[in-house]
Structure formats: structure tokens, C-alpha cells
Chains A and B, each alone.
Chain A
């Protein structure tokens, strides 16, 4: 079955710097890759997603890139702000299924 690895597990950056979180997956047929932000005690919130027919997608300070050949995708946050501090999860939806496979999460701390 699909296996998703997420790195790093923790990431501290200075306010205004960029943060990059990377996920690798094993099933080359997977076709949907969302990213979720989860604040303490809250639900995972979809912040950006990308489908397998697209290489990059951007939404203001957030972008996601997908390398299908290498089977990895990354979340990029530019000009980080303290409110970006949270746990970020990548997920993969293998083709033909409805079960999202989640990464283990990255705890991002943005230092003011």
C-alpha cells in the first residue's frame, strides 16, 4: 500500500523567513496531494492541494510543488508569520481509493 514520509518533524524559522516541508510517497498512481494545517486542539484545515497533472500551485504566501518522477511534493511558506505556527500534515490520495494517507506531521514554530 501507499507509504508517506514527511520531513522534518520539527522546524523553527525566524519571522519573515521561508519554511519548506517535504513529503515522499511510494505509489506512483497517487493523484491528489493536499496539505493541512492543524492548530493545537483544532481540526485539520485544508490550506492548499495539488493534483497529479499539475507541477506547482500557489496561493499568496503558500505554494506546493509536485515532482511525480521522484514521487515527492513540498509545501513552501514564504514571509512566515507567528500565526503560521502549527502542525502541518501532508496527505496522499492513492488512485482509485478514498483513503487519505497522512504524513506524520511537521511542527512549525515561527519565532518573532
Chain B
């Protein structure tokens, strides 16, 4: 049973370019979350998606960042016109149910995508 799959693992972009990060949740999971981890810091919630729906994007910057989880295919976090401050590790996580409901509180993280903006 494959875990949460993310790619690319490492991505280097020049300032002003676009970065696309992909995430395939664990088999049977329909809830996807993106977290960002700046160097030497904890993880910060960005966005929560279910298939074809953005449930909560309150942690995502209003400009340049967008996320989707189409009916077919992986979830994608897109960062347009990247700046140096976007350099971070972006972790995707998935769960089978919404945390907080019943016993389904556990989310499982992927290996992360490390974005470096030069």
C-alpha cells in the first residue's frame, strides 16, 4: 500500500518562474492537505481539498498560490512568479476522513517537495 506520493522531491526555480508540486494521496484517501515548512520552523497549514473542491484555503497566500484536486489525477499546488521567500519544503498529507470526526484524526504525510528559488 503506497503512501502519499509527492513529486518532484526537489525543484529549483528562478525568481519569476512557476512551480508545480504534485501529490497523490494514499489509496482510499479522498482528503488532501498541503502544509509548508520554512527552514528551521514547524509546519503551517495552507489548504485542505477534497475531490474537485477546495474546502479551506485560509492558510494560503491570496496571490500567486493556487491548489486543485481534480476528479482524476493528483492534487497540484501551483506557485506563480516565485520569490526567494517561497523557498521551503511543501508537504502534502492525506486522510480517509475529515480529522475531528469519529476516530479518523490521523493524517499521513508525503516525503515533501523541496523548492529552492534562486
A residues sitting closer than 8 Å to B (CB atoms) are 6, 31-32, 34, 36, 41-46, 49, 51, 89, 93, 95-105
Given contacts A98-B48, A98-B56, A100-B107, contact A93 B100 (CB under 8 A): yes
A-B contact count (CB 8 A): 61
Interface size, B (range): 20 to 34
Q: List 12 A-B contacts (CB under 8 A).
A: A31-B100, A34-B106, A44-B109, A45-B109, A46-B108, A49-B105, A49-B106, A93-B100, A99-B45, A99-B48, A100-B35, A100-B43
Query: Is B98 engaged at the interface, CB distance under 8 Å to the other chain?
Result: yes
Query: Is B42 engaged at the interface, CB distance under 8 Å to the other chain?
Result: yes
Q: Are B44 and A102 in contact (CB-based, < 8 A)?
A: yes
| Smallest Cβ-Cβ distance to A45: which chain B residue | B109
The distance in angstroms between the C-alpha atoms of A105 and B91, with both chains bound, is 16
